[in-house]
Amino acid sequence: MAHKSQTKDDVRVRRSQQRVRQAVFDLTVEKGFTAVTVSDIAARAQVNRSTFYRHFLDKHDVVRRYLDEVQALAARRAAAQVGQPRPGAEHIPAGLLALLQEIQGHARFFKVMLGKQGDPAFAHRFRQITEKRYRLLFAAGGQQAASSSLPVDLQVAYIAHATLGALLWWLEHGQPISVEQLAIDLGRLNLTAAGMVMGPPGPRH
Amino acid sequence: MAHKSQTKDDVRVRRSQQRVRQAVFDLTVEKGFTAVTVSDIAARAQVNRSTFYRHFLDKHDVVRRYLDEVQALAARRAAAQVGQPRPGAEHIPAGLLALLQEIQGHARFFKVMLGKQGDPAFAHRFRQITEKRYRLLFAAGGQQAASSSLPVDLQVAYIAHATLGALLWWLEHGQPISVEQLAIDLGRLNLTAAGMVMGPPGPRH
Amino acid sequence: MAHKSQTKDDVRVRRSQQRVRQAVFDLTVEKGFTAVTVSDIAARAQVNRSTFYRHFLDKHDVVRRYLDEVQALAARRAAAQVGQPRPGAEHIPAGLLALLQEIQGHARFFKVMLGKQGDPAFAHRFRQITEKRYRLLFAAGGQQAASSSLPVDLQVAYIAHATLGALLWWLEHGQPISVEQLAIDLGRLNLTAAGMVMGPPGPRH
Amino acid sequence: MAHKSQTKDDVRVRRSQQRVRQAVFDLTVEKGFTAVTVSDIAARAQVNRSTFYRHFLDKHDVVRRYLDEVQALAARRAAAQVGQPRPGAEHIPAGLLALLQEIQGHARFFKVMLGKQGDPAFAHRFRQITEKRYRLLFAAGGQQAASSSLPVDLQVAYIAHATLGALLWWLEHGQPISVEQLAIDLGRLNLTAAGMVMGPPGPRH
DNA sequence: ACGTAAGCGAGACGGTACGTCGCGTCTTACC
DNA sequence: GGTAAGACGCGACGTACCGTCTCGCTTACGT
């Protein structure tokens, strides 16, 4: 397999899609995702509007697929790391690192996209990815979570949102610390917060 | 004061605006805020479309104003409480309580509105209100915040997002605990998380 | 009669109606009758829009009534002249004279009103008045008309339109001759043209 | 030339425009041009309202362009006739004939359009075309006009309006005579009236 | 002169049409 | 087969006027 001449391998196709994606990035930064129209995109991408529709369902489809690719990439990186010798003091998950690197590469795009001018569906999907990561983390070193009196869903939602908040802060303040440092800090935050959320085990409902 | 005959006192005006607001609530729950059109709203509110535009700029304006009112109400409640004798063990801020009660009263609306079918601007404004609350809290009992090595903005963003996450969980799971309990829990979470975020005071950048 | 206390005698009523009429005149000159709205009129007349509707059906009603008044005035003048000693060489019908004087008094209004920015219904009514005049003229000194091979209607339409054309020329060129001279010329034109229209009595259809 | 693939050659375009034009004709006859709305037109033409706006600025644009085409056609016919051997007794200008034929083909439309339910701008443009014709005529066989004591503009306005009056009479009475006869009569009228207008050279102002 | 019926200002409201914009589908011709 | 060009149906937008309708205030009138 993989040697068949696919439509997706067509030079023109790749060129068109790449142009469209870049146009969406640029325009979103310029005027906010909401205000971007397919006509805008086509014009900026120097592609006919009907060509856009040949490749994407709508503007949401462009960013949805992009997010999927990023997520797939992160997953691949994470998978590749499994079984690797654990590094010392501060361990940086390869998946998270890849994700953050991609985000930094398109910092302004993500900042807008996850903000008030953005796409709620995009933000939601992004949050889901984050939640999934934490769910796995909790499952892995789950003793703490198990001991908590709070539902896992709640813990996950709490930490995922918080993480996204921190990430947004990072984006909106010009990424003041390195991606690596951010990964470490987030990791620490996560774990501590996890402990915290379940922390004070006062008698509940 | 307050005895002048204002336009806003007009019975018809109040009726129209109330109907519109209710229509927006209902329709948002039914099909998601994004999918709601002004025509929809007018039809459901049994009001002419032009009447809608006489009172609101667009559908966003309706929810924006609503949020402002809720926020104003909460602020009033909070102000009224100042100087009251502190209750015993678990203190529930009156402002927060009022806010949560209003949210519970329109639980399904808020659930949709803050989710993937919602309005990013609404969610953003909501988050801002939450952040403002925490900023005040930090300013009041500020010793902890001051001792933290992390920027206040970051702490605030982190906790505000986390709180919203918890709130969403609460909404999406049918409000399993009472508003009062939620207020208490959120308060505890806030304080603990605040300590946590600044927690491990390792030397930072 | 005529001593009853009518609504129409109320000072306020007369004042409002007068203001409205003047506003219509001014605005029509400024932007063409078509472009004038009732709101425009009310604003210019310094009268509430609902007051406008108390007195007139719509903007057409204003000019329609005005034309009726002018026409009534002309008729009165004409009637008053009946039985008067015929003046010498050039006889000027009093009705026509009154009409032309009124028109000159509002020259710019009539110019616009009968032109491409005007009201077709107004122009039509105006033409009908003119046609009526000629029909009477033909009926009076009818021997010529009778001898003509052309239908009276056609003759009347032909001359009425022609007269209006001349009148428009007069208005559009700044009324280069006096009203009296115009009345005389039009009269001459009418009679001559009348003869002419029926003139060459070649065998017809 | 003329073999390039133009937008206007598109079958769909021609079809849409033709349908719209016909709808305007029909609706104008039915309810008067003033009362016709773009929605009416689109519905009748079985075309979407936005398609209407893709081709025309507004309803006036439709009739304006139509008139231009008619005028262009007449001009072409007139030009083609230049240099032809003059026929005998009654010469019928080819341009005028074409114009009258077109009018007869849409008699009811023109009747309404030039009447009280019509469009003053349309009537005005129509009159201008007529005036242009007479201006040319006067310029050609100009000895008479030159000898007149009246301004050419006045003569032209007078005759053009008169002609239109006769034409309207013809339309409103069911076109009692043939187009050819009408053309001949109008021609005779014109010349005679021309002589008449300048006729009685009494001392003027 | 004065009490009252009217005119009047203010403006909400239901309607209808406007002209614009963006969407997603489609056809046709080119390459 | 991908692409450009662009017509088309659809439907929402926000605006502009329309004509009708309360609802109080004020003002000129007629006794």
The Cα A92–Cα D167 span in angstroms is 93
C196-200: average pLDDT: 47
Which range (B33-42, B78-87, D127-136) has the least confidence?
B78-87
For a pLDDT cut of 90, what percent of chain D falls above it?
63
Question: Cα–chain-centroid distance for residue B34?
Answer: 19
Of C162, C166, C200, nearest to D192 by CB-CB distance is: C200
Q: Looking at chain A, list the stretches that DSSP marks H as alpha helix, in order from N- to C-terminal side.
A: 11-31, 38-45, 49-55, 59-81, 94-105, 107-113, 120-140, 143-147, 152-172, 179-198
Confidence band, pLDDT 50/70/90 cuts, at residue B4: very low
Nearest residue of A to residue B179, measured between CA atoms: A205
pLDDT at residue C27, rounded to an integer: 98
Backbone angles phi, psi at B175, to 5 degrees: 45, 65
Of the partner residues A118, A157, A163, the one whose CB lies closest to the CB of residue B168: A157
Nearest Cα residue in chain D from C202: D185
Topology, domain B1-56? Arc Repressor Mutant, subunit A (1.10.10)
Give the other-Cβ count within 10 Å of C200's Cβ.
Answer: 13
Give which of D198, D129, D136 is closest to D167, Cα–Cα.
D129
Give the residue-averaged pLDDT of B151-173.
92
How much of chain B exceeds pLDDT 90, in percent? 63
Where is pLDDT greater, at B61 or C184?
Answer: B61
pLDDT at B188: 75
Task: Select from C4, C50, C46, C51 the least CA-distant residue to C23.
Answer: C46
Residue C2 reports pLDDT greater than 90: no
Lowest-pLDDT range of A38-47, A134-143, B9-18, D32-41: A134-143
Please tell me the predicted confidence (pLDDT) of residue B186. 83
Return chain D residues 19..48 having CB < 7 Å to nucleic acid strand E: 37-39
Mean pLDDT, consecutive 10-residue stretches, chain A (205 aa), reads: 59 93 98 97 97 97 97 91 61 89 97 96 96 83 55 88 95 94 82 54 41
- Of the listed ranges C157-161, C183-187, D185-189, the least confidently predicted one is D185-189
Neighbouring CB atoms inside 10 A of D22's CB total 13
CB-CB: which of C158, C176, C177 is closest to D162? C158
Q: Which of A10-24, B76-90, C188-202 has the highest mean pLDDT?
A: A10-24
Whether residues A165 and B169 touch (CB distance < 8 A) is answered with: no
- Chain C residues 51-110, Cβ below 7 A from strand F: 53, 57-59
Scan residues 14-33 of chain D and list those with Cβ within 7 Å of strand F.
Answer: 15-16
Of C120, C154, C205, the CB nearest to D166: C154
Average pLDDT value for chain D: 85
Query: Given CB atoms, is D176 within the 8 Å cutoff of chain C?
Result: yes
What is the reported pLDDT for C203?
42
Q: How many helices (H) and strands (E) does chain B have?
A: 10, 0
| Residue intervals in chain B for CATH 1.10.10.60 | 1-56
Please list, in sequence order, all residues whose beta carbon lies within 8 angstroms of the beta carbon of residue D103, skipping any fewer than 6 positions away.
D110, D167, D171
Q: CA-CA distance, B23 to B105, in Å (whole number)?
A: 15
Q: What is the pLDDT of residues C59-89, one digit of tens each?
A: 999 999 999 999 999 999 988 876 666 555 5
pLDDT at B86: 59
Instruction: State yes or no: pLDDT of B139 exceeds 70.
Output: yes
b/e for C139-172, b at 16 or more Cβ within 10 A? eeeeeebeebebebebbbbbbbbbbbbbbbbbbe
Q: Could you tell me the maximum CA-CA distance found in chain C, to the nearest angstrom?
A: 64
Give the residue-averaged pLDDT of B163-177. 95
C 34-93 residues inside an 8 A Cβ radius of D: 34
Q: Assess B113–A contact: CB distance below 8 Å, yes or no.
A: no
Sort out which chain C residues have CB atoms less than 8 A from D116's CB and list them. Answer: 120-121, 123-125
Residue B28 CA to residue B113 CA, distance in Å, equals 7
User: Alpha-carbon distance A170 to A177, whole Å?
Assistant: 8
pLDDT at C188: 76
| Burial class, A3, CB count within 10 angstroms (exposed 0-12 / middle 13-18 / buried 19+) | exposed
What's the average model confidence in pLDDT over D66-87? 84
Q: Would you place residue D199 in the very low, low, confident or very high pLDDT band (cuts 50, 70, 90)?
A: very low
Nucleotide showing the shortest C1' distance to residue C38 CA: F17
Gap between the terminal Cα atoms of chain C: 56
Structure tokens at C164: 């209006």
Which residues of chain C make contact with D185, given a CB cutoff of 8 A?
204
Chains in contact with C, where contact requires at least 3 CB pairs less than 8 Å apart: D
Question: Which of A27-36, A127-136, C92-101, D135-144: highest mean pLDDT?
Answer: A27-36
**B203 has a chain A CB within 8 A of its CB:** no
Query: How high is the pLDDT of residue A199?
Result: 45
- Considering only CA atoms, which of A72, A67, A59, A73 is closest in space to residue A126? A67
With a cut of 70, say whether residue B5 has pLDDT above it. no
Residue D123 is given by DSSP the state H
Domain with CATH 1.10.357 in chain C: 59-205
Q: Are the C-beta atoms of residues C187 and C140 closer than 8 Å to each other? A: no
- pLDDT number for residue B3: 42
Predicted local distance difference test score (pLDDT) of residue C162: 93
Residue with the larger pLDDT of the pair B196 and A48: A48
Band of the pLDDT at D74, cuts 50, 70, 90?
A: very high
| Residue B25 neighbours by CB distance under 10 Å | 20
User: With an 8 Å Cβ cutoff, are A120 and B125 in contact?
Assistant: no
Q: For the domain covering C59-205, report its CATH number.
A: 1.10.357
Closest residue on chain A to B113 (Cα):
A120
Tell me the C-alpha distance between C113 and C127, whole Å: 12
CA distance C74 to C77: 5
C108-133 confidence digits (pLDDT tens): 999 999 999 999 999 999 999 999 98
Res. C136: pLDDT tops 90: no
Q: How far is CA B18 from the centre of its chain?
A: 19
- Name the nt closest to C51 by C-alpha to C1': E8
pLDDT digits over C40-64, tens only?
999 999 999 999 999 999 999 999 9
C-alpha closest to that of A195 among B195, B150, B142, B147: B195
Angle at B64 between CA B62 and CA B65, to 5 degrees: 70
Mean pLDDT of C165-176: 96
Residue A21 makes CB contacts below 8 A (sequence gap 6+) with A62, A66
Question: How many residues appear in chain A?
Answer: 205
Q: How far is CA D99 from CA C161, D63, D70, D133, D160, in A?
A: 20, 15, 7, 12, 15
Q: For the ranges A82-86, B113-117, B142-146, B154-158, which has the lowest average pLDDT?
A: B142-146
Share of chain C above pLDDT 70, in %: 80
Output b/e per residue, B187-200; b: 16+ Cβ within 10 A. bebbbbbbbbbbbe
- Residue-level pLDDT at C198: 47
**Upper half-sphere CA count for residue D161 (Cβ side, 13 Å):** 23
Diameter of chain A measured on Cα atoms: 64
- pTM equals 0.88
**Average pLDDT, stretch D92-99?**
91
Q: Give the model's confidence band at D1: pLDDT under 50 very low, under 70 low, under 90 confident, else very high.
A: very low
Amino acid at D203: P
Angle between helices D152-172 and C152-172 (to 10 degrees): 140
Three-state secondary structure along C34-68? Answer: HHCCHHHHHHHHCCCHHHHHHHCCCHHHHHHHHHH
Contacts of A166 (CB under 8 A, 6+ apart): A185, A186, A189, B154, B157, B158, B161
| Token reading at D6 | 């133009």
Using CB atoms within 10 Å of the CB of residue C63, give its burial: 0 to 12 exposed, 13 to 18 middle, 19+ buried: buried
Residue A178: which residues within 8 A CB-CB, separation 6 or more? none
State which residue has its Cα closest to the C1' atom of E7.
C12
Q: Which candidate, A192, A195, A177, A155, places its Cα nearest to that of B151?
A: A177
Retrieve residue A76's tokens.
């691949």
pLDDT at C138: 78
